[in-house]
Chains A and B, each alone.
Chain A
Amino acid sequence: MQRIGVFVCHCGSNIAATVDVARVVEAAAKEPGVVHAEDYQYMCSEAGQLKIREAIKEKNLTGIVVCSCSPRMHENTFRQAAERAGINPYMVEIANIREHCSWIHKDMEEATEKAVILARAAIAKVTLNAPLQAGTSKVVKRALVIGGGIAGIQTALDIADAGYEVDIVEKTPSIGGRMSQLDKTFPTLDCSACILTPKMVEASAHEKITIYTYSEVEKVSGFVGDFTVDIRKKARSVDMSKCTGCGVCQEKCPSKKAPSEFNRGLNTRSAIYTPFAQAIPNVPVIDRENCIKFKTGKCGVCSKVCQAGAIDYDQQDEIVTQNYGAIVVATGFDTIKLDEYDEYSYSTSPDVITSLELERIMNAAGPTKGHLERMSDHKAPKSMVFIQCVGSRCADRRGKSYCSKICCMYTAKHAMLIRDKYPDVEVTVFYIDVRTPGKNFDEFYRRAVEEYGVNYIKGQVGKVSEKGDKLLVQGVDLIDNKRILMETDMVVLATAIEPNKDVRKIATMLTASIDTNNFLTESHAKLRPVESPTAGIFLSGVCQGPKDIPETVAQAGAAAVKVVGLLAKDHLVTNPCVAKSNELFCNGCSSCEKVCPYGAISYEEKEVNDHGIRETRRVAVVNSALCQGCGACTVACPSGAMDLQGFSNRQILAEVDAICK
């Protein structure tokens, strides 16, 4: 017979304000098997845990129920407390009377009644709990970083510096990501390439880092400590071991009409190309869709001019299979499509550009060699208008509900740089709010206004239309309550950012959760911000939420520390709540094997003693190291032989009964 102890937490007033804790204790004490029930201010505190340990010893408890916050918060705390008092940690059940009760109900009577029922269900369950022993699994001491932007590079460097092998998988032909496209960075106006390139070089030279560019993650299986990943190395059509990076092929390539992805389509590139001068690796790829040789079979100029004989038109995609202990997602962002924002004339006027396009125009290696000019007639503008929050903070179907966070600052940066370099250009910024939470951020914005004379007008622009070779901006000044009709030469849209479009595919492969905006969900919004709820998956950079470069680098480091903490372990304690087959009931039908996503179930010819009858039967055997405890097999089993430890049929039925009583 079990001896159950029930511990009801006040959680200060979080629970006690709406749940009559004393009544829960009183009701719990009457449940069968309960020999001890008490309440305390904070059960999770050291003093609260001591109460649990003492009660276990004094009353010889075999199992405990803690009525408190979500098990996702403190289940481990109480399991450890139980273990310290000498009972098996899996003899603990939590009744969630905070998140699922006191916080959502206002009526004390109702909430107390519900808390009593939740406690009753947990008591019914724990009565049927059995001690479980956790096993161990190995840790492959190698990490994978998906995405080679600043987030991925920094994470990889930090992991590698701690002495572990890291692979970076980058989709494009070079690492560097969005940061390599930026000209200057706020709030200190460092040249982006000047601070990024050394990191790129360091990553490529690091003996512990392997970089797969022009590659994508194709398949992921396994679990924390031992993921198996297939990486598709797309055919570069250039032999990386032979290419010297001389660049002659790119010069001589006759096909030069493909829009340059790196320059956001503002100019074109050759079919054989490296995205930018400092690309790492400095080995071009052939874009087969635009290559004349691949389209018509005739050309082969690059092959003829290549002194190293590196061009290989017959190269095939290659699949590399590698095992990893941890995976970091650092897939970054893109700007949203502006097709539906007709009122800003982005699709119709080449002089209406996004801020990322302006970065390329301002950059010395960009389409205009760093000269500020209009894309329509290449004339220098005399006046420019910046429009904030284009697609950010929107409740409609066209935009995003969140603030993109970086736009206020980069717009101040652009405005300041333009006023500095071209003092005769009038710069006007239309804003809704200027958001500058960050070190030296507000000072930076104020400098743009006070020292550089940037004209900030409060009020969203209603319409941008073409008027001759000018643009007509129609807006209002909400402070003056006046109509503004302004002719200008260029309009720059602070376009909302969104997670890279491939992230959903990757999240599905990793079974990592993702929110409605396609940002990856962190394990806890405040306390576990770089971990996915899926063990062994970590988050770095904008894939988790909008952030600027310093925040990205900080998060990248944090993710690396979490990875290192995992890889430093020799083995991991596995979840003992795994499936187990009762060989007496098993009829060897293979139903369970078919539904198992982990291949954890196999069949053995086993000698079974069925009530005195000894015979050899084909029975299911669960490999507890592979089983993740989903329970799919338990429902598939027609004979009821397969059950899930910790969530057994009897336990769940007991909960159902207790709730419906």
Chain B
Amino acid sequence: MQVENNKEFRPKIVAFCCNWCSYAGADLAGSSRLAYPADVKIIRVPCSCRVNPMFILRAFQKGADGVIMCGCHPGDCHYTSGNYYARRRMTLLFSMLDYLGVENGRTRVEWVSAAEGVKFSTTMNEFVAKIHSLGENVRLEDLRCKN
């Protein structure tokens, strides 16, 4: 899927990737030259369970338009059970964000293994397209954080 080039709107998208599966999957997408929009910026964490819901709230506070978290497939976590914790935490957080008025489509959890460069790329393309369709995120900006 190709994202339309909308010069007016360049979304800010933060992707948290676990070191063992998804970050390696993103590396594979890179070495296989599988393009996805430059709007996605990846932050490396040791495991998806390291992602504190606070990080995601902060991203939205600072003006992110979408946040995606990628981890190892259920059962394949390098630390045995980390992604299960992450999954529960994100389920709770996302429903809270939904309640706060941040659309469900702005957050996503995806399991990407180290061998799934194609999946990483298609996921990012889809996610960016989704954010484009939702437009700019204006809901959760802390006015005190704005210059």
Take A114-B41, A507-B76 as given contacts and tell me if A106 and B35 are in contact as well, using a CB distance cutoff of 8 Å: yes
A508 and B64 contact, CB distance less than 8 A? no
B12 and A630 contact, CB distance less than 8 A? no
Q: How many residues of B sit at the interface, in one of the four size bands?
A: 35 or more
Interface flag for B133 (CB, 8 Å): no
Interface flag for A657 (CB, 8 Å): yes
Interface flag for A659 (CB, 8 Å): yes
**Closest A residue to B59 using CB positions:** A656
Question: How many angstroms between the C-alpha atoms of A107 and B7 in the bound complex?
Answer: 13
Contacts of A647 in B (CB 8 A): 45-46, 50
A577 and B23 contact, CB distance less than 8 A? no
Question: How many angstroms between the C-alpha atoms of A114 and B72 in the bound complex?
Answer: 26
B21 and A513 contact, CB distance less than 8 A? yes
B76 and A632 contact, CB distance less than 8 A? no
Contact with B along A98-142 (1 / 0, CB 8 A): 111101111100110110011001000000000000000000000
A508 and B26 contact, CB distance less than 8 A? no
Take A99-B30, A657-B62 as given contacts and tell me if A631 and B76 are in contact as well, using a CB distance cutoff of 8 Å: no
A631 and B72 contact, CB distance less than 8 A? no
Interface flag for B43 (CB, 8 Å): yes
Contacts of B20 in A (CB 8 A): 513, 533-534
Contacts of B116 in A (CB 8 A): 515-516
Interface flag for B44 (CB, 8 Å): yes
A659 and B14 contact, CB distance less than 8 A? yes
Interface flag for A499 (CB, 8 Å): no
Neighbour of B49 across the interface among A71, A514, A635, CB < 8 A: A635
Contact with B along A484-519 (1 / 0, CB 8 A): 000000000000000000000001100101111000
Question: How many angstroms between the C-alpha atoms of A113 and B38 in the bound complex?
Answer: 9
B113 and A635 contact, CB distance less than 8 A? no
**Closest A residue to B50 using CB positions:** A631
B31 and A577 contact, CB distance less than 8 A? no
Contacts of B30 in A (CB 8 A): 70, 98-101, 103-104
Contacts of A96 in B (CB 8 A): 27, 42, 44
Interface flag for A634 (CB, 8 Å): yes
A99 and B115 contact, CB distance less than 8 A? no
B53 and A660 contact, CB distance less than 8 A? no
Question: How many angstroms between the C-alpha atoms of A106 and B36 in the bound complex?
Answer: 10
Contact with B along A620-637 (1 / 0, CB 8 A): 000000001111101110
Take A72-B23, A508-B75, A511-B80 as given contacts and tell me if A121 and B41 are in contact as well, using a CB distance cutoff of 8 Å: yes
B78 and A514 contact, CB distance less than 8 A? no
B62 and A661 contact, CB distance less than 8 A? yes
Interface flag for A652 (CB, 8 Å): yes
B35 and A656 contact, CB distance less than 8 A? no
Take A121-B43, A513-B114 as given contacts and tell me if A101 and B38 are in contact as well, using a CB distance cutoff of 8 Å: yes
Question: How many angstroms between the C-alpha atoms of A490 and B19 in the bound complex?
Answer: 52
Contact with B along A529-541 (1 / 0, CB 8 A): 0000110000000
A635 and B89 contact, CB distance less than 8 A? yes
Question: How many angstroms between the C-alpha atoms of A106 and B82 in the bound complex?
Answer: 35
Contacts of A628 in B (CB 8 A): 79
Q: How far is the CB of B118 from chain A (nearest CB, A)?
A: 10
A631 and B46 contact, CB distance less than 8 A? yes
A114 and B81 contact, CB distance less than 8 A? no
**Closest B residue to A577 using CB positions:** B46
Contacts of A661 in B (CB 8 A): 62
Question: How many angstroms between the C-alpha atoms of A390 and B77 in the bound complex?
Answer: 34
Interface flag for B47 (CB, 8 Å): yes
Interface flag for A521 (CB, 8 Å): yes
Contacts of A660 in B (CB 8 A): 12, 14, 59, 62-64
Question: How many angstroms between the C-alpha atoms of A657 and B35 in the bound complex?
Answer: 25
Neighbour of B115 across the interface among A103, A511, A515, CB < 8 A: A515
Contacts of A248 in B (CB 8 A): none
Task: Tell me the residues in window 1-59 of chain B with beta carbons closer than 8 Å to chain A beta carbons.
Answer: 12, 14, 20-21, 23-24, 26-27, 29-31, 33-36, 38, 41-47, 49-55, 58-59
Interface flag for A566 (CB, 8 Å): no
Interface flag for A653 (CB, 8 Å): yes
Contact with B along A635-652 (1 / 0, CB 8 A): 110000000100101001
Neighbour of B78 across the interface among A114, A121, A511, A577, CB < 8 A: A511
Contacts of A100 in B (CB 8 A): 26-27, 30, 42
Take A649-B54, A660-B62 as given contacts and tell me if A597 and B82 are in contact as well, using a CB distance cutoff of 8 Å: yes
Interface flag for A655 (CB, 8 Å): yes
Contacts of B35 in A (CB 8 A): 104-106
Take A104-B36, A631-B49 as given contacts and tell me if A659 and B113 are in contact as well, using a CB distance cutoff of 8 Å: no
Question: How many angstroms between the C-alpha atoms of A288 and B50 in the bound complex?
Answer: 48
A632 and B43 contact, CB distance less than 8 A? no
Question: How many angstroms between the C-alpha atoms of A121 and B59 in the bound complex?
Answer: 13
Q: How far is the CB of A643 from chain B (nearest CB, A)?
A: 10
A513 and B113 contact, CB distance less than 8 A? yes
Question: How many angstroms between the C-alpha atoms of A533 and B25 in the bound complex?
Answer: 12
Interface flag for A595 (CB, 8 Å): yes
Contacts of B49 in A (CB 8 A): 595, 630-632, 635
Question: How many angstroms between the C-alpha atoms of A66 and B90 in the bound complex?
Answer: 32
**Closest A residue to B56 using CB positions:** A656
Question: How many angstroms between the C-alpha atoms of A117 and B116 in the bound complex?
Answer: 25
Q: How far is the CB of B16 from chain A (nearest CB, A)?
A: 8
Take A100-B26, A106-B35, A660-B12 as given contacts and tell me if A635 and B42 are in contact as well, using a CB distance cutoff of 8 Å: no
Contacts of B36 in A (CB 8 A): 104
Offer 9 A-B interface pairs, CB within 8 angstroms, sorted by A: A99-B29, A104-B29, A104-B36, A513-B72, A533-B114, A632-B50, A647-B45, A652-B43, A659-B14
**Given A595-B85, A634-B50, A659-B59, 14 new contacts (CB under 8 A):** A70-B27, A71-B44, A99-B26, A101-B38, A114-B38, A508-B75, A533-B114, A577-B46, A631-B45, A631-B50, A632-B85, A635-B51, A644-B46, A652-B43
Could you list which residues of chain A lie within 8 angstroms of chain B, going by C-beta atoms? 70-72, 96, 98-101, 103-107, 110-111, 113-114, 117-118, 121, 507-508, 511, 513-516, 521, 533-534, 577, 595, 597, 628-632, 634-636, 644, 647, 649, 652-653, 655-657, 659-661
Q: Lowest 3 CB-CB distances: which A-B pairs, in order?
A: A99-B30, A631-B50, A660-B62
